Chains A and B, each alone.
With several copies, the nearest count.
Chain A
């Protein structure tokens, strides 16, 4: 099972892509750990996660059906 992670702003820049396909993980906490291991610079960046376009503030369980995104601080307008 794989899952898609959308990356934005500086996080997309660090990964060199806006969309990553990674082996499925059980929750957003594990996802963060996996990402930080793969891209150590991400651990130094402030961001929040969104699951199915809703921001989450504590770890939530994931399935491959969820769309997960990592969002640096917004700076629109």
Chain B
């Protein structure tokens, strides 16, 4: 993996539904596609010690995360007959109810798109150096723990 060659998966703030619609729309011309699988992460208003999460502030080791994502992308394309794959992750503040992750896989047949999407979600949660700082409604915060 050469440095500086990776796509940038990060976007500032929440991912807008209109952005997702645009991404979907762009695949109309790829008439070999039969199925798309999409995963969206949404910030949940969890309760922590009696206080409610009002937002998550994401930071990342961006260069490393983009390089890691490229490794994952190559492994996924080797494993599944995909037509394409797109991943976007928020940085900065994302409020509860807003979207922080958008994984989008497309393939001629549904099985590849569905399996690849799930695997990408699992791998990126485990492997990408990204951190979520949960902002609570009493102005304190705590670091998110993935389960």
Contact = CB atoms under 8 A, between A and B. Distances in A.
Interface of A: 6, 8-10, 12, 50, 53, 69, 71-77
A73 B131 CA distance: 8
A76 B61 contact: no
A73 B58 CA distance: 13
Contacts, number: 67
Interface string B110-147: 00000000000100111111111100000000011110
A65 to B, nearest CB: 13
Given A50-B61, A50-B64, A77 B41 contact: yes
3 closest A-B pairs by CB:
A76-B130, A9-B131, A53-B64
A71 B130 CA distance: 9
B143 A77 contact: no
B67 interface: yes
Contacts of B128: 74, 76
Interface in B46-61: 58-61
Contact of B129 (A10, A12, A74, A77): A74
Given A9-B143, A10-B143, A76 B132 contact: yes
Contact of B143 (A50, A69, A71, A72): A72
A74 B130 contact: yes
A6 B64 CA distance: 12
A71 B59 CA distance: 11
Nearest to B60: A76
Given A8-B129, A53-B67, A77 B124 contact: yes
B100 interface: yes
